[in-house]
Amino acid sequence: MLLTQILSAMTVTLCMLIDSIMIGRFLGIESMSAYGYSTPVLLVFAAVGSMISAGVQVMCGRTMGSGDKEGTNACFTVSVTLSVVFSAVGMAAVLIFTDPLCTLLGAGENTPDNTVFFLTRDYLRGFIVGAPAFMAAQIMVPYMQMSGSRTRLVAAVIAMTFSDVIFDILNVFVVKKSTFGMGLASSLSYYVAFAIGVVYFFKKDCIFKFRPALIKGRVCAALMKDGVPTLINQVSLVLLTLVLNKLLTGLGGSKAVAAYSVITTAGNICYSFSSGVASVALTLSSIFYADEDKPSLMELVKVMLFYAVVICGVVTAVVVLTAKPLVLLFIQDMSAVDMAILGMRLFVLSLVPCALNTTLKNYYQGVEHVGVTMSISVMQNFALTALSAFVISRFAGVTGVWLGFVFGESLTLAVIFIYLFFKEKRSPFSVKGISLIPDDFGAADDCCIELSIQSLEDVVNVSKQASDFCAEKGIPKRKGTLIALAIEEMSNNIIHYGFADGKEHSIHIRLVSDPDAVHLRIRDNCASFDPVKYLELHKDDDPVSHIGIRMVMKLVSNANYVNSLGLNNVHLKL
């Protein structure tokens, strides 16, 4: 999931990056400052979109993890509705109150000699046209990830990027080189991405259905509640941007603000790597937590932290080495260039601790430690970073603001580890210490067995292992035999039909014994196939046909199917 999620995280930032480069190189330093003043508004829309998107990841992760199809469709319906409502209201508010908003953002008063004010207003008016597509693109990402439609997701991001470049070039060289045109170019490119992505949701095999009857207040409240930690995260970023813009204006004037615009724009692309890892962590932790899959959660902690450190470590090294040519892409004014180069190099030193903080807070959101998530968001994205920037700038000027990012992220990480030490009473550097999962969560290790099948030869061996496991747990012999038979029948069926395309496939078996029942989950990465629905559609056929599926369904007290992350998941309860 990681590559497509990183690219998806760039959907919001790529257009901003391209606009920033084109504005800085062709429209001048005042236009670059105007773009910097506009950034908080862009972040507000990103905040609302991220809130709904995160709510989708958590709620949909739970419903899909538990096989609740109606809950999944309710989540989809409500999220689409909220996206339309919020984008429409936000667009109207910005268009009506543009002038006072520009003043509030720091662009000054509407006076004839204040060029920056008019440039800021023009950019906002051009950008706001694309607000509905901007927000819709964020909402589509988790659904397309969960459905396994990653190729379409990548295509949408690539098309959006190329469209924005083309529209920006037309604005600069053909039209009239306005900041309004730059904002409008971004808007149009978001609509291009939306047009490509939305096609999936009208396809017959789309696993998400829009059902107006499922729009209920409690679902809206639950979705927004699940997304609140991400909203707080984004609001904290907006506040930080406002505070630092004001601080930099006092320390270095519009050139310092322009340098900060360059750093944050390029920094957002850097952040896409950490937010990509974190977003995958949120999706998977929500699904594994709903499934009470403790081993997978433990494995997730190790994998996500490894990728966070390695990927962002590489990004840090690359940006430190290429800071000068990177900054020169944006601005040509040498007095601002030197400031931005130093700022860029100091800023990226915060990427690794930032990646760890962001990944951990998303993981904690997925395992329902919401208070921890919100605390991390406020510390890293506002409180500790703003405080560090303010204090250090008293001694080091503008350079102190850049160092504030490093100290803010590092202090946040230190606070997290101190909290884990006192909370868990164990080393905060161990997987168990970091995971915040109770010892009695899910099935005990000795009550669960996980097995893998790659071929027909494996089926017999796995079936026997399952039978032996049942015998060890004191499960009646007849029930153990039925479980082994269910594994054989379902696995043979998957291999016969699913493996026939010649691609590399596997089947994963998870068997859990608890006092009330035995739970069997069969997961495969073949083409989408719902055996429960299939049998329902063919219930009137010849009883001899589909005998394998019929037999298994008669053995179980409950069966449900869900396709998540492009994988077939069949849950059987005996």
Cα distance between residue 151 and residue 25, in whole Å: 33
Give the residue from 458, 368, 450 showing the smallest Cα distance to 58. 368
Please identify which residue in the block is written with the tokens 């974190």: 278
Q: 237 lies in a domain?
A: yes
Whether 401 and 503 share a structural domain: no
157 occurs within a structural domain: yes
Instruction: Indicate if 299 and 150 belong to the same structural domain.
Output: yes
* Residues 123 and 160 placed together within one structural domain of the fold: yes
* Cα separation, 271 vs 254, whole angstroms: 25
Nearest to 14 by CA among 238, 193, 171, 199: 193
| Structural contact between residues 370 and 229, judged by C-beta atoms closer than 8 angstroms | yes
- Spatial separation of the C-alpha atoms in residues 466 and 475, rounded to whole Å: 11
> How many CB atoms lie under 10 A from the CB of residue 484?
21
Identify whether residues 449 and 380 lie together within a single domain. Answer: no
Instruction: Give me the pLDDT at residue 542, please.
Output: 59
Is the domain of 404 the same as that of 519? no
- Domain membership of residue 42 (yes or no) is yes
Residues 466 and 418 in one domain: no
Q: Of the candidates 535, 536, 524, which has an alpha carbon nearest to the alpha carbon of residue 562?
A: 524
Considering the domain boundaries, does residue 509 fall inside one? yes
What are the DSSP E strand ranges found in 232-302?
none
| Token pair 């850049």 in the structure block, residue | 402
Q: What is the residue-wise DSSP string for 120-184? A: HHHHHHHHHTTHHHHHHHHHHHHHHHHHT-HHHHHHHHHHHHHHHHHHHHHHHHTS---HHHHHH
Residue 506 lies in a domain: yes
Cβ–Cβ under 8 Å, residues 197 and 156:
yes
C-alpha distances in Å from residue 382, one per residue of 2, 238, 337, 409, 454: 27, 9, 26, 10, 49
Contact in structure between 458 and 495 (CB atoms under 8 Å): no
Query: Which one of 408, 434, 460 terminates a domain?
Result: 434
550: Cβ–Cβ under 8 A, 6 or more apart, which residues? 535, 543
- Given 434, 455, 488, the domain boundary residue is 434
Total number of domains in the chain? 2
Q: Are residues 452 and 390 in the same domain?
A: no
Which tokens is 267 given?
């920094």
Q: Is the pTM of this model over 0.75?
A: no
Is 439 a domain residue? no
Helix (H, G, I), strand (E, B) or coil at 525: coil
Domain range spanning residue 25? 2-434
Answer yes or no: are the C-beta atoms of 368 and 220 closer than 8 Å: no
Q: Which residues contact 459 (CB under 8 A, 6 or more apart)?
A: 453, 487, 488, 491, 492, 495
pLDDT at 385: 92
Q: Are residues 236 and 333 in the same domain?
A: yes
Q: Which residues pair with 562 in a beta bridge?
A: 569
d(CA 395, CA 392): 6
How many CB atoms lie under 10 A from the CB of residue 517? 15
CA-CA distance, 417 to 35, in Å (whole number)?
Answer: 37
Question: What is the C-alpha separation between 324 and 43, in angstroms, rounded?
Answer: 26
164 found inside a domain: yes
Domain shared by 140 and 35, yes or no: yes
* Residue ranges of the chain with per-residue pLDDT less than 50: none
Are both 384 and 472 inside the same structural domain? Answer: no
**Cα separations in angstroms, 436 against 297, 433, 558:** 10, 6, 31
Judge contact between 78 and 160, C-beta under 8 A: no
Note the pLDDT of residue 546: 59
Which of 434, 464, 489 terminates a domain? The answer is 434
Domain match, 60 and 141 both: yes
What is the number of other CB atoms lying within 10 angstroms of the CB of residue 322?
A: 11
What's the CATH number where 566 sits? 3.30.565.10
Specify if 440 maps to a domain: no
Rounded to an integer, what distance in angstroms lies between the CA atom of residue 310 and that of residue 248?
32
pLDDT of residue 355: 94
In a shared domain, residues 387 and 483: no
CB 570 within 8 A of CB 528: no
Q: Report the pLDDT value the prediction gives residue 12, as an integer from 0 to 100.
A: 60
